[in-house]
Chain A
C-alpha cells in the first residue's frame, strides 16, 4: 500500500521565520511528488517534482526532491501570516488510480 507521511503535523512560527516541511513516501513505481497549499477551502497547487535534486522555486517558497531518501522538503522563507495554511504532499505512481495524499502539516504564522 502506498504511504505518504508528513512532518511535523503542526507548526507555529513568527513572521519572518524560515520553515521546512517534510514529506516522505513509500510507493511502487514513483512518478512525481506534488505540494498543495490548503487555506480555508480547496487545496491549490504549488509544485510538482519529478527529478531528484532539482529545486523548484516560487517567490519565498521552494521545494526539492530526494529520490534516494524517498523524501521532499518544502521551504518557506521570511514567513508571513498569509502563509498560514495546511500544506499537503501527494505522490503519483505509475498504474495508480489517483494521487495519494499525506495528512498535511498545519502551519500557523503569528504576527
Chain B
C-alpha cells in the first residue's frame, strides 16, 4: 500500500517557468489537499478537492491551479513561478472530510526553490 505519492521530491525553477507537482493516492480517498509549508511556519491550504471533478480554493490559491479528473490523482500546477512560491509542498488525502477520525495521510513533500 503506497499511500500518497508525490513527485518530484526536489525541484529548482527559474522565475517565470511553470511546472506541475504530481500527487497520487491508492487508498480510494475522496478528499485530497495541497498545502505549502514555509520555513518556521505551519501548513497553509492552497487547494482541496472533495471528489473527482470537484475542486475549490484554500487560503493561498494565487499562482496555482489544480484539477481532479480521477479519484487517485490531484496535480498542482504552478504558472509563472515567483520567488514567493519557494516552499515545501505537501499533498494529503483523507477518508472523511477534514480528516475526522483518522487525520490526513501525507505525501513525502516536494521542496521547490524558485530563483
Residue in B4, B100, B108 with the greatest tally of chain A CB atoms within 10 Å: B100
Is the pair A92, B42 in contact by a Cβ cutoff of 8 Å?
no
Interface size band for B:
20 to 34
CB distance from A58 to the nearest CB of B (A): 13
Task: State how many angstroms separate the Cβ of A26 from the closest Cβ of chain B.
Answer: 14
Whether the Cβ atoms of A45 and B104 lie closer than 8 Å is yes
Are A102 and B42 neighbours in the complex by a CB distance under 8 Å?
yes
Count, A-B residue pairs, CB within 8 A: 63
* Residue count of chain A within 8 Å CB distance of chain B: 25
CA distance A97 to B31 in the complex (A): 10
Q: Does A74 contact B (CB under 8 A)?
A: no
In whole Å, how far is B96's beta carbon from the nearest beta carbon of chain A? Answer: 10
Residue of A nearest to B33 (CB): A98
A34 and B106 contacting across the interface, CB-CB below 8 Å: no
State A6–B107 Cα separation when bound (angstroms). 23
- The residues of B with any CB-CB pair to A shorter than 8 Å are 4, 33, 35, 40-45, 48, 56, 58, 90, 98-104, 106-109
- List 21 A-B residue pairs with CB atoms under 8 Å apart, sorted by A's residue number: A4-B42, A6-B42, A9-B40, A34-B99, A41-B109, A42-B4, A43-B106, A45-B103, A45-B104, A48-B100, A48-B103, A90-B43, A96-B98, A97-B48, A97-B58, A98-B99, A99-B104, A101-B42, A101-B43, A103-B40, A103-B42
